[in-house]
Structure 1
Amino acid sequence: MNETTNVAPTKAHRTMLSKVPEITVWFWVIKILCTTVGESFADWINMTLGVGLVPTAAIFTVVLAAVLIWQLSLDRYKPFVYWLTVVVLSVTGTLYTDILTDQFGVPLAASSAVFALILAVVFGVWFAKEKTLSIHSITTLPRELFYWLAILVTFALGTAVGDWTLDITGWGPGIAVLLPAGLILLIVAGWKLGANAVLSFWLAYILTRPLGANMGDWLGFPRSQQGLGLGVAITSVIFLTAILATVVYLIVTKADVIEPDTPRAAKPRRERMMLGYFAAVAAATIGLLLWANAQPHGAPPGTEGPATITAIAPGQAVAKFPAADVAQFRALTQDMLNRVNAGDQAGATASAKKLESAWDDGQPKLQAMDAATWTAIDGRIDAVLTSIRDAKPDPATETQALNELRTALE
């Protein structure tokens, strides 16, 4: 999708002043790679490394500020800096949405609506001041600031909408990835038939976020949660490597700074007709989601089913599994127990997420080492997660489940 309608800068102007790449297939490939990293890398830093959601968001906010200053200081498009900025924005936008959901309990429907409203305001002010939303007009500092602000909000919005879709449908990420992928194809078809290029571009741009996020979850989630079981660390490494390889290719070949085709002439009547097409696509999507929500389905991937408790002998976990791994699980269990005893339910929930992530990441290795021991501990962890995440958590039930897990890990 080449978003060039109503924009016809000269070649010299584009080469010297444009701060963004041409909208070629490479643009969309690397954009989807970046969004996948935003989901998996944020989870890896926050949960697997145990940094915590708010500290991770604070770290990436500082990193984002530094990278943005670097990007804004340049006088033309530089692939490495540009795509580094997109990657950091992707991670940061994901974290902001997760904070609203996990720390403040804001429903995904509400955060989706809020971010959609914020994005509409950003676009409205941007257009009122600059008279265009075309990214091929990013040749001044004010326009570039509007551009990066819009991208940050699209990442946050896409994260909320993608998670909300999983929430209301119960789809696994492998199935859920088909919805944004299909919608992007329909938008491309609409653009080919004469829809406004700027509108088509931004609609597709927003949808690449849930597409990439679902792809990241599909690769990173364990098989028990309808994923491929690669883990968030491996998924992050794979996609970061792919991004780096693509950026190097673009730097060498300059495939994303080629002179675009002559912009097609605007056809207001056709564009108005295609607005009806987009409205029909939106109505059909809403209908599909309502239908899926009404179907019997389980909880979204990542939530626990009924715990299956099997016997485990004293010292079995330490005898069968690496001591360092068992010590990590025991420390997280004790931290949860301390927080429950102190009445810190929010802290216990955050620790539960860390335990869940660490256990899921270790599943391929530990289950292969001793399936019986893994099953025994897995059932007790499920019981803990279920009690901690209950809509009305009972401290006595939480304490009992945690003590049973702690005993199994001794």
Structure 2
Amino acid sequence: MRSAATARDGHYADLAKVPAVTLGFWIIKILATTLGETAGDTVTMSMNLGYLAGTCVFAALLALALAAQIRASRFHPFLFWTVIVATTTVGTTLADLCDRSLGIGYLGGSALLCALLAATLYAWHRNLGSVSIQRLDTRAAEIFYWLTILFSQTLGTALGDWVADPDAGWGFGYGGGAALFGAGLLVVVALYQWPRVSRTALFWAAFILTRPLGAMVGDYLDKPVAAGGLALSRYAASGALVAGMLLLAILLPQRAERLERVARD
């Protein structure tokens, strides 16, 4: 019998390569998702590269960062958050590409990404028996983990735009959309008080909800006043968010999540 906490090189390990879920984790996560929106818009709109070129640029950066993350033997905070930011910027440009350039609309994009996210979680659980971040002890689990994150980040942009847009969506606006998704997070926090509610399900619910929340905040910062935003410079907003993430990553505790020890043959 071997421990499920076996590292990739065959040595026993107790720690995952992802951060423990703390208040600091969620604060940095929201900043990262907000940065994904402003940085994605900076490249596709302010630099006029367009959604396809922007998606290719960020996808290349994601591939490089993700390869380094998977090859790493332990948790590296700055590497982990670099991959998170890469997934959220790819998510922003890819969702905009699907919704706008490909013409499937916010509803079509949101439905497609919901289906991909659900299918990934189902395949992960069916093949490995758990979608818990405390069971990221194999290469396959890591791949499912990052696929789930990528689809959730992309869904967040499509869903956020659908909720906010007054012409092609629900018309909540950026402030109303942020309040809506913020209320959803409060429901998750309330459910956390019941021990019988799956902590894994609550984690993924919160992880998914923070993406459209960040998208709403990002759009509110850089969209024109006439569209309900503050019309701040995308460059300045993105720079401030990067600085804030770096500062918090240094000041707030960044420890690795502990792996569950489960006996396997």
TM-score (norm 1): 0.58
Rate the CA distance shift 1:155–1:164 in 2: closer, same or farther, 3 A: same
The structure that has the greater radius of gyration is 1
Q: Partner letter of residue 159 of structure 2?
A: V
Q: 1:259 to 1:231 in 2, by over 3 A?
A: closer
Please point out which of 229, 234, 237 is paired with 2:236.
234
The reply on whether 1:19 has 2:17 as its aligned counterpart is: yes
Q: How far apart are the structure 2 equivalents of 1:48 and 1:256?
A: 34
How do residues 97-176 of structure 1 correspond to structure 2 at under 5 angstroms?
Answer: 97-167=95-165, 168-176=169-177
State the Cα deviation string for residues 102-138 of structure 1 (Å, max 9, x = none): 2110121111111111111111111111111001111
Q: CA deviation at 1:228?
A: 2.2
Residue identity (%)? 34
CA displacement 1:388-408 (0-9 Å, x = unmatched): xxxxxxxxxxxxxxxxxxxxx
Amino acid at match of 1:135: I
Equivalence for 1:292: none
Report 1 or 2 for greater relative contact order, CA contacts < 8 Å, sequence distance ≥ 6.
2
For residues 257 and 152 of structure 2, the distance between their equivalents in structure 1, rounded to whole angstroms, comes to: 27
Change (3 A) 1:221 1:259: closer
Q: Secondary structure at the match of 1:33?
A: helix
Residue 310 of structure 1: aligned partner: none
Preserved contact between residue 20 and residue 136 of structure 1 (Cα < 8 Å): no
Contact 1:222 1:231 in 2 (8 A): no
After TM superposition, give the deviation of residue 249 of structure 1 in Å.
Answer: 2.6
Q: Which residue of 1 aligns with 2:39?
A: 41
Q: Aligned ranges for residues 301-320 of structure 1 at < 5 Å?
A: none
| Paired position in structure 2 for 1:202 | 204
Higher-helix-fraction structure: 1
In 2, distance between residues paired with 1:216 and 1:79? Answer: 23
Moved over 3 A (4+): none
Contact 2:51 2:93 in 1 (8 A): yes
Q: Using the alignment, how far apart are the partners of 1:223 and 1:107 within structure 2?
A: 24
Instruction: Give the partner amino acid of 2:209.
Output: L
Partner of 2:9: none
- What RMSD in Å do the two structures reach over aligned CA positions? 1.9
8 Å CA contact 2:17, 2:257 repeated in 1 = no
Q: How many residues align?
A: 247
Higher strand content, 1 or 2: 2
Alpha-carbon distance between aligned partners in 2 of 1:103 and 1:223, rounded to the nearest angstrom: 24
What is the SS of the residue equivalent to 1:13? coil
Quote the offset at 1:223 in angstroms: 2.4
